[in-house]
Structure 1
Amino acid sequence: MDENGAPRQAHLRSTNSFGKAFRITCEGSDTRYSFAHFGESGKLFVFEAPIDMLSYLTLHSENWQKHSYIAMNGVYKNAVFTALKNHCNLSEIVLCTDNDAGGIDAAERLTDILHENGYESVSRIIPKNKDFNEDLKQLHGVEFLSAVPHFRKEKYQEIALDLRYFKCNPDRMLNRISKTFQNGQYRYLAEYALVASAFFISKSAENTMFEKLKIKLSDEYRAYADKGKLCAKQDNLKSAYQSVMRDLRYTQSRTKEQMIQTAKQLYQLADCAVKCEVEQELSAPQLMQEETQTEEPSEVLHMEYG
């Protein structure tokens, strides 16, 4: 219902226990409004579906009326912003999306949008299983669905945090980046690019800065924005590589601002390289992965700064 109590959105859902479930938003529904309860506190809990919201309230029923709750009926953000607009007391948003790839992506996307619109207090409560209805099922001994890992996000963070540090040699920087790019050695390209980025930011604390940049890569990664096949990501990598090579061929002394800009371009190159490595690993057949692990490393793989 809207702020005047008029019905604005309706849904149909099958009640069958067997076969394929049926769910649909009724024609003419306004997605700016959704299933919700509004209390007096400044806290708004956001769910993907009404069943998740009701399950959460069943699990956490104490004084539930004082807070506000809304179901997006999927991952629609319209209802959330309509609620925030119509209830000026709401300042703290708690995202309660599913514990699977879609729910994780939805939470990160909505968090970014909320921050862009001036809402700084955004947090997330993660269900133990796939969603809060599955948590409720488990509590009552009913068969339930476990959480589903976000393989792409986990793989990116694993690779980013596992990047190795090499002491940067500025005279060999351009050559190292060029060779690893041409050989399609994405992980090593990411390492060289990130080391070079750390070098341009802080020569005196290069190693420490490298570790900070690894964490920054991991924390800032957004799987919802990392779409497309390997060929598209290779195009992005090529563009980032060309920008870096043009910049590194600049041999004049650099201002502080120019050094920061160079560091940003190298950081972007590292990010693109990790994304290509992730896509390659996730899309490669298991047999090819096993064969790659047994291959002798090429000469380029032994190259280090210094």
Structure 2
Amino acid sequence: RFTDILHEKGYAYISYLQPACKDWNEDLKAQHGITPIPAKPHPKLEACKELCGEIRYLCSHIKSVKNPHEMLMEHYEKAVPLMQSSRSTDRQKAVLMEQLLSMAVYALFAVMAQYRQLEKPMNFKQLTDELCHSYHPHQDRGKLKTKAEDIQQDVNAINAQLKTSGIRTLEDKQKLIASYMSFALNCVKAQIFICLEEQEQKIEALQKQNEERVDYMQAVCEEFMQPGI
């Protein structure tokens, strides 16, 4: 976050230090012989890496796509009602995850097609690495509805650029590539939200079960402690 701010201020060369443990306070504890809380990977970053790995795997195992934009739009039309649903079942969420994954894959195929036209060598590992590195957790806010709106904006931008008449300039192609990459990233963000939301729901359900069990055990103990029992 601070790096982005400094870049905006014109600072090109920026470096920063990170604590070895959870934070600097924990580093100080470690220096004084107190057991520190270890650092943990950011859950959103971990999810992003995993999803980009899945995208890379699919891209590398699909031989070719004749019209990636058409395929992208086909999956997008199926995903729209699922993203707009306020209460989705587990099955609907699973289907949406599949649609979002496919949309990201076809977006990268569309990017690859543009790079071929520019005669610029590029492979899917490079594209998925770029996709993963472009993800910043502090910029990833909002619920699924927000993600759907961002994806819609990307679709509108892509379609507007594709419908523009005339020969596309280098700048036009670069803008189109950027729009497809933004689309793919927003698909990944939506997947991250769904994944982490499911994890939170499972944790909450487990906590509720534990609380109910504790309440039950306390009730049993109180019953046995009553006089005459």
Q: Cα distance, 1:269 vs. partner?
A: 0.9
C-alpha spacing 1:251/1:188, structure 2 compared with 1 (3 Å): farther
SS in 2 for 1:282: helix
Tell me how far apart the structure 2 counterparts of residues 168 and 250 of structure 1 sit (CA, whole Å).
26
8 Å CA contact 2:21–2:38 kept in 1: the answer is yes
Aligned to 1:195: 109
Aligned to 1:134: 26
Q: Cα distance, 1:241 vs. partner?
A: 1.5
Aligned to 1:177: 72
1:260 aligns with 2:155: no
1:112 aligns with 2:4: yes
* Corresponding letter in the other structure for 1:163: I
Tell me how far apart the structure 2 counterparts of residues 213 and 236 of structure 1 sit (CA, whole Å).
20
Tell me how far apart the structure 1 counterparts of residues 101 and 23 of structure 2 sit (CA, whole Å).
35
Aligned to 1:20: none
8 Å CA contact 1:168–1:196 kept in 2: the answer is no
8 Å CA contact 1:174–1:245 kept in 2: the answer is no
Identify the match of residue 36 of structure 2 among 135, 144, 147. 144
SS in 1 for 2:21: coil
TM-score normalised by length of structure 2: 0.67
1:195-219 Cα shifts (integer Å, max 9, x gaps): 2112112348787343322222222
Tell me how far apart the structure 2 counterparts of residues 265 and 280 of structure 1 sit (CA, whole Å).
23
The list of structure 1 runs, each at least 4 consecutive aligned residues, that deviate by more than 4 angstroms after superposition, is: 203-207, 249-253, 285-288
* Corresponding letter in the other structure for 1:181: Y
Q: Which has the higher contact order (CA 8 A, sep 6+)?
A: 2
Q: Cα distance, 1:162 vs. partner?
A: 3.5
C-alpha spacing 1:283/1:191, structure 2 compared with 1 (3 Å): same
1:89-121 Cα shifts (integer Å, max 9, x gaps): xxxxxxxxxxxxxxxxxxxx1111112212233
* Corresponding letter in the other structure for 1:156: C
C-alpha spacing 1:252/1:122, structure 2 compared with 1 (3 Å): closer
Tell me how far apart the structure 2 counterparts of residues 120 and 262 of structure 1 sit (CA, whole Å).
26
Question: Which structure: greater helix fraction?
Answer: 2
8 Å CA contact 2:69–2:110 kept in 1: the answer is no
1:72-91 paired onto structure 2 within 5 Å: none
Aligned to 1:272: 186
1:156 aligns with 2:51: no
Aligned to 1:235: 149
Gaps of at least 5 residues in structure 1 are 1-108, 289-306
8 Å CA contact 2:69–2:106 kept in 1: the answer is no
Q: Cα distance, 1:286 vs. partner?
A: 7.8
What is the aligned length? Answer: 179
Q: Cα distance, 1:224 vs. partner?
A: 1.1
